Amino acid sequence: MRFLYGDSAPFSLGYNFLATLEVFMTTATRIVQLESEARELTRQSDEVANGRMKGLEALDQFHTVVMRAVRDTAQKVQHAHALEYAQKISEFASHYVDEHRRTTVGASEREAAQCRSDNERRIVEQRVQLESFLKAAKLPILATKLAMRLVTEGKDSRHQMSAVFDNPDGIQTSFTLGTSKIAAWAMPRKVSDFAQGVELLVGVDKSWLRGTVTPKQVNVDDWIVTQFDLADDSFALTIRRKLTEKETLSLHLRRTEAGLSGAVEHPGQPNAESLNGQLGGSDLAALERVWQALRLATREVLEHKEQLVMAGLDGTPVFEGGLVIPFVVRLVTMFAPTVREIAKRSPNEFELSLKQETEGGRREEIYLRKDQLVSQLHPLSSIGRELFAPLGLDTWVPGLTTAPPPVVSVGPPSQAPQSRAPYVPPASVSPVPPPQSGGPQSVHPSVPPAHATGAVPASTPQLPPGSNRVLPES
């Protein structure tokens, strides 16, 4: 399966980018909306609190002036009743001011706590939205680091895997992986599951007469893989002869400009301390076979992202560093050139189109209507909408224009094709074999998707029905 632009030129990304763009617009616009709501709520809360503090300051000033006047007047009268009156007035007024201060400060603290609680819930939802996008989307990957630990609980053992993905533009994500969804990883695995005939000079042979320790050749095909760490330039592998035994080998490989190097450790074996520990050429070659075989064997697991552990930007965690909006902006910057190029190569100016081609040469169109994507921007303010401006989808900025610009039809009405349903992801489409003769015909999904709604403006050209169509190309 390969992907093409709408004009049939090769598409640089090897996956359905429009599906990623669709989920991005849904989740990213919600993230921006939540951030805007949080800032507005904080602003209002601070404004009310500042108003209360100004009221307290005014009351304090008034109280000071009144008390001074009462005391001065009582001193002039110089009568016991007047002095007692002034004392009572002072006590009452001071009590009133103190009580008002406690009430005001308490109200501000309660509102601030409520504001923080509300905004924390928004942060939780932002994280859910971002996780939903990152689990469903496909991003270009520069490097991957994969870690596995075999966890044993009684007689049961299971693999725990996690992966760190380095993406372009300083984006990094980390996930736990669903190994339970892959049958091959449902039980402990041996070295022979990945490579056979793995002979390593890593055994420990101690002479009882002389007391010397020398390495010996060991076949590790039947040893259990209990731990590994895979990266592009490094490989760490821990294997155990049997899960019920303690004999363990810890092997480390690293690839640099100088070539491949490695070492072995024997945890819990005191006799091995005198060994060099450096791996020879044949050992390195054998372990590199295991390394590459594990990379292939775990490729399917990488597709099952289970839970977001961390999303980072330039090495800083997004949520801990308050970088959720810069993270969205960075994704917009990453996607913008691809979106604009797809738009330029799409046959219909109101759509973003790609084609997917099977190995047999059969091509189907995948498309997204631009107005479907722009509708996601409607709840946002002009500032929020401007974040998505580099995508080139939105030409209406609230506050600068009074209404969205009209969509102008291209060509005379008689040439306008019929309408069709909005975009449906390819997974929900059941293609129909191409016609035996005649021009292109539509391929309809067997069941219309629940989200395929929305009216087409009257001025929009009418398009053929169906979200995919088979083109007469081969």
**pLDDT score of 209:** 58
Span 26-54, average pLDDT: 94
Span 188-217, average pLDDT: 81
Higher-confidence position of 321 and 447: 321
Euclidean distance between CA atoms 373 and 5, whole angstroms: 19
Contacts 24+ apart (CB under 8 A), 260-269: 260/284, 260/288, 262/287, 264/200, 264/202, 266/202, 266/204, 269/204
Left (φ > 0), alpha (ψ -120 to 50) or beta: where does 420 sit?
A: beta
Counting residues of the chain whose pLDDT is more than 70, the rounded percentage is: 80
Higher-confidence position of 455 and 270: 270
Q: Judge whether 130 and 150 are in contact, CB under 8 Å.
A: no
For the entire predicted model, the pTM comes to 0.72
Q: Is the pLDDT of residue 431 over 70?
A: no
Q: Strand 143-153 relative to strand 2-5: parallel, antiparallel, unpaired?
A: unpaired
Burial zone of 221 (CB within 10 Å; 0-12 exposed, 13-18 middle, 19+ buried) = middle
**pLDDT score of 61:** 93
Mean pLDDT of the chain: 82
Beta bridge partners of 283: none
* pLDDT tens sequence across 231-281: 999 999 999 998 888 888 999 999 999 999 999 988 877 666 667 788 889
Beta bridge partners of 159: 150
From the CA atom positions of the chain, what is the Rg in Å? 34
pLDDT tier at 208 (50, 70, 90 boundaries)?
low
DSSP code, position 389: G
* pLDDT tens sequence across 362-385: 889 998 999 999 999 999 998 999
Treating both helix axes as pointing N-terminal to C-terminal, what angle do 80-136 and 324-345 enclose, rounded to 10 degrees?
40
**pLDDT score of 36:** 94
Distances (CA, A) of 175 to 198, 230, 332, 447: 31, 15, 22, 33
**pLDDT score of 169:** 92
Q: Which of 165, 308, 284 is nearest to 235 (CA)?
A: 284
Q: Is the pLDDT of residue 229 over 90?
A: yes
